[in-house]
Amino acid sequence: MVLTRGEVGRLLEHLDGTYRLMASLLYGTGMRLMECLRLRVKDVDFEYRQILLRDGKGQKDRVVPLPDRLTDPLRAHLERVKALHEADVLAGYGEVYLTFALARKYPSAPREWGWQNLFPSGKLSVDPRDGTTRRHHLHENSLQKAVKQAATDARLIKPANCHALRHSFATHLLESGYDIRTLQELLGHADVSTTMIYTHVLNRGG
């Protein structure tokens, strides 16, 4: 389902704080829900205004532009996340989950600021994989529920969810004149035929 720009705006107005920032990233970059949730602090490059998405669909990395309007909200968000991480470290925690290969290659990385989750959970929890108490990233259900509630509060007639924000991003870029190959790269589609679906939505050729 594709939302108009006005509908996206109304949806975002009914979201607050972290959820509004996350939903804005989904619409502003076209990233997938789990790509957003798995972002690390070091993946955001303010100098070059870009975000690195690691291990996306097909285990491929890609870079997407960081929208200018989200720069200041992201900086403010990072200040709050850093304060939370520092408090965790003082309490004897502050370690984030990394894959076995990464943890073995970079032993000190789990406690380093750059590897922390960009959108951490509000509480610490025991990791059943090894018994370590960690602060994981937010659960996908939390953002999905927030977006669904925002759509209800905004009285949107169309069904709106996180994936609708990605679809809307793609459709609006095509409407603005972006070419299909650029859109394919931004969305992380392995085959351009997948991206071509959006040209059918607009009822025009690629």
Mean pLDDT of 94-101: 88
Per-residue pLDDT tens over the stretch 31-77:
999 999 999 999 999 999 999 998 766 668 899 999 999 999 999 99
Identify whether 163 is a catalytic site residue.
yes
What share of the chain in percent tops pLDDT 90? 74
Q: Is residue 26 part of a domain?
A: yes
Whether residue 147 lies inside any domain: the answer is: yes
The Cα–Cα gap between 168 and 179 comes to: 16
Task: Supply 38's token pair.
Answer: 């798995």
- The answer to whether position 206 is within a domain reads no
166 is catalytic: yes
| Catalytic residue list contains 145 | no
**Number of structural domains the chain divides into:** 1
- Residue 106 belongs to a domain: yes
57 is annotated as an active-site residue: yes
| Active-site residue (options: 14, 20, 38, 198) | 198
Q: What is the pLDDT of residue 186?
A: 93
The CATH number assigned to the domain holding 167 equals 1.10.443.10
Catalytic annotation, pick one of 14, 32, 77, 137: 32
Residue 85 is a catalytic residue: no
Residue of 20, 166, 167, 172 marked catalytic:
166
Strand duo 50-53 + 62-65: pairing: antiparallel
Q: Which residues contact 175 (CB under 8 A, 6 or more apart)?
A: 202
CA–CA dist 181, 140 (Å, integer): 29
Asked whether residue 201 carries a pLDDT value surpassing 80, the answer given is no
pLDDT more than 70, % of the chain:
95
Give 163: exposed, middle or buried? Use CB within 10 Å, 0-12, 13-18, 19+: middle
Tell me if 15 is assigned to some domain. yes
Q: How much is the pLDDT for 205?
A: 43
Q: Which pTM does this prediction carry?
A: 0.91
Looking at residue 199, its amino acid is T
CA neighbours within 13 Å on the CB side: how many for 114? 8
Residue pair 113/85 in contact by the 8 Å Cβ criterion: yes
Catalytic residue among 57, 62, 136, 148: 57
Give CA torsion, residues 98, 100, 101, 102, to 10 deg.
20
pLDDT at 21: 98
Q: Which domain holds residue 88?
A: 5-201
Write down the pLDDT at residue 58: 60
Q: Average per-residue pLDDT in the chain?
A: 92
